[in-house]
Amino acid sequence: MTVKTIAQQVRETLADALGVDMARLTDEAQLVRDLGADSMDTIEVVMDLENALDIVIDDTDLPGDSATVADLIRLIEQAKEKQHAAD
């Protein structure tokens, strides 16, 4: 899975979960401030991505209130790299 594919999957998952237009999902958009996510939304998005991409994200790595779309993409990329290294 390429970085571009991961980024697209993250954006599609965010758009579906938060009901926001894809155009709003810029790298700099903050999940809470700009996209209206709350902590439960963030957890649900991460769980959806874990299931869709067959990865595991440690609870201590969950994005905080100031996390951006780019931060979430990086988190997913890192989880995929860890999974690939373990395989």
The one catalytic residue in 16, 27, 38, 61 is 38
Does the annotation mark 48 as catalytic?
Answer: no
- Following DSSP, what letter does each residue of 29-78 receive, concatenated? -BTTTTT---HHHHHHHHHHHHHHHT----GGG---TT-BHHHHHHHHHH
Positions annotated as catalytic residues are: 38
